[in-house]
Structure 1
Amino acid sequence: MKQELRKQFGDEFQYEIALNGNEALEVVDELVEAGVNVILILSDWLMPGLKGDEFLILIHAKYPNIRSILITGHVDESAAERVKREAGTYAVFSKPWDSTKLMEAVRICCNKN
């Protein structure tokens, strides 16, 4: 994913990776505290600890201006609708995702369309 984003957007953005939802919360908090404008979070649904939908709902409650996209190998329609409603998630993509559609969603979320 990171390589795909770098291929599309180069060094225009800073890319951070977390291995689970709790680590991701820490990373976002640290970035915001350092004055970094976090624009978009791409999250997997199935992660150790916090699931992606729960993580994005927590992020949205704390940082409502951060946009999000959820990626899942386990399409749970109720979770997809919930994360769109409660976290303002722009899109939910199933694995394997369509790279063109995902990159277009990233462009839209980052106002690069």
Structure 2
Amino acid sequence: MSYGKTKIFSDLNATLHDGGLIGLLGPNGAGKTTLLKILTTLQKPTKGDVLIDGTSMIAHPNVMKNLLGYLPQQVPYFPNLTAGEYLNYIAGMKGMKKLKRRDERPGHF
């Protein structure tokens, strides 16, 4: 991946397993935010692919969107919404149109 002419990371390979907690540490400009944007399908890599159980996340972004929740450092604040209303709003933005389906997800309000 490149940011301008600077290579942020290259030849990155990782195998992640269910049930673990993963932290990204590194200096400013190391590519932590870029990696998160790629994993959350907010940004496409300049080269390569991301595979989830052998499925290309680039070709099939909904695979990752259905598995991952992403909370950015700066969250938009809507003072007129309760926490539950905000989560329903985000679920709608994620494509979860039916309230019943949202309620079936772990951690629903």
Instruction: Give your verdict on TM over 0.5.
Output: no
**Between structures 1 and 2, the one with greater strand share:** 1
Q: TM-score, normalised by structure 1?
A: 0.31
Which structure has the larger Rg? 2
Q: TM-score, normalised by structure 2?
A: 0.32
Structure of higher RCO (CA pairs closer than 8 Å, 6+ residues apart)? 1
